[in-house]
Amino acid sequence: MKMLINVPETVVADALRGMAAAHPELTVDVENRVVVRKDAPVAGKVGLVSGGGSGHEPLHGGFVGPGMLSAACPGEVFTSPVPDQMVRAAAAVDSGAGVLFIVKNYTGDVLNFDMAAELAEDEGVQVAKVLVNDDVAVTDSLYTAGRRGTGATLFVEKIAGAAAEEGQPLERVTALAKQVNENSRSFGVALSAVTTPAKGSPTFDLPAGELELGIGIHGEPGRERRPMMTSGEIADFAVGAILDDLTPRNPVLVLVNGMGATPLLELYGFNAEVQRVLAERGVPVARVLVGNYVTSLDMAGASVTLCQVDEELLRLYDAPVSTPGLRWGM
């Protein structure tokens, strides 16, 4: 496989050095693997810290900045960051108002963030946690006990980040983050397997002419494998699976997310089919976001995330944000 890298062992460090050069508004500690907004800590503001394995960019480092995360901890590719990174991040962003850890439901992430919370609290930092577990495809997977955390992570980070930016207290920011997660569901589809730099070849076998329904962002198996389907058929299946699990009473935010190797031409076409299904099912749409936000290296495919919102959640979603991966209103 051809990759634009030097050697697999330095791929994360090289990416962080490049990120530092491209985004002087961030403090990028390459050695300790922590990305922090330059003005942290902000007086009176709750700090938001997230992180996970690299390979899902722009998640999470690309979502650090005003209106979203205060800091992010990138692990090795598809590997959880370690507690020391999280403690360092918490200390860097804590202004005395507390820190919220936003954790995707993968076993390594959960264990390490739990340990980091204990260590940070020993150092006098008040820590709260929210677990993102929005994927309806499978109950358990290779990496999780319970549902996986996927596209809803973006909505949690954006809405909680806006609340923190307003100076809302830790308890309220945490409650909003949990509300977003509880009102979000996702479903992903893979058209090709993912290739990690260390392996240099596809990590699972997906024959030509087939697709995997319900895939995870690390290439975990989904619900079933089928012959290739049309964009409309995939939208029917994916949105149907979400709405079987979530009955929106309010308008929804829609994320049509690329897995890394799917062109925008295809993603916008897929979004047209997603919107068709939602209209047929009588689900009102408040906002739509299309692009590569929660990726899986070079995997072709897409995921759909729906999040039902009230007026407050929609206001916070619309609030200004300025990060490398998400920017509006500033």
The pLDDT tens digits of the residues spanning 83-105 come to 999 999 999 999 999 999 999 99
Mean local confidence (pLDDT), 127-138: 96
Q: So what's the pLDDT on residue 330?
A: 81
Bridge partners for 69 per DSSP: 64
**Would you please indicate which residues are annotated as catalytic (active-site) residues?**
56, 218
Judged by DSSP in three states, 322 sits in strand
Paired tokens of 155: 């909505």
Contact indicator for 144, 107 with CB cutoff of 8 Å: yes
pLDDT digits (tens, 9 = 90+) for 267-299: 999 999 999 999 999 999 999 999 999 999 999
Q: What is the structure's pLDDT at 205? A: 86
Give me 56's structure tokens: 């899902």
Q: What confidence score (pLDDT) does residue 162 get? A: 98
* Orientation of helix 170-182 relative to helix 311-318, angle to 10°: 100
- The pLDDT of residue 138: 85
Run of H or E residues at 226: strand 224-227
* Number of Cβ atoms within 10 Å of the Cβ of 269: 15
With H, G, I as helix, E, B as strand and everything else as coil, classify residue 313. helix
pLDDT tens, position by position, 225-276: 999 999 999 999 999 999 999 999 999 999 999 999 999 999 999 999 999 9
222, 215 Cβ separation under 8 angstroms: yes
SS3 state of residue 186? strand
Q: Is a pLDDT exceeding 80 seen at residue 155? A: yes
Q: Quote the tokens at residue 259.
A: 């897995």
Per-residue pLDDT for 204 more than 90?
no
Q: What mean pLDDT, rounded, does the chain reach? A: 96
At residue 272, the pLDDT reads 99
Residue 11: predicted pLDDT: 98
> What percentage of the chain reaches a pLDDT higher than 90?
92
- Cα separations in angstroms, 216 against 30, 78, 149, 168, 210: 28, 11, 9, 33, 16
pLDDT score at 280 = 98
What is the C-alpha to C-alpha distance for residues 81 and 203, in angstroms, rounded to an integer?
A: 21
Give me the pLDDT at residue 202, please: 87
Q: What is the pLDDT of residue 222?
A: 85
Return the minimum-mean-pLDDT range out of 111-120, 156-165, 216-225, 314-323.
216-225
| Separation CA 190–CA 144 (nearest Å) | 19
Question: Three-class SS of residue 71?
Answer: strand
Question: What pLDDT is stored for residue 72 in this prediction?
Answer: 98
Preceding peptide of 41 cis, ω within 30°: yes
Residue 317, pLDDT score: 98
The share of the chain scoring above pLDDT 70, in percent, equals: 100
Whether the pLDDT of residue 142 is over 80: the answer is no
CA–CA gap between residue 168 and residue 161 (Å, rounded): 10
Query: For the segment 51-68, what is each residue's pLDDT rounded down to a tens digit?
Result: 999 999 999 999 999 999
**How far from 294 is each of 86, 186, 216, 317, CA to CA, in Å?**
20, 12, 11, 17
Both tokens of 172, joined, read 């309220």
- Does pLDDT of 30 surpass 80? yes
Report how far residue 281's alpha carbon sits from residue 252's, in angstroms, rounded to the nearest whole number. 13
Q: Find residue 258's DSSP bridge partners.
A: 302
> Which three-class secondary structure state does DSSP give residue 207?
coil
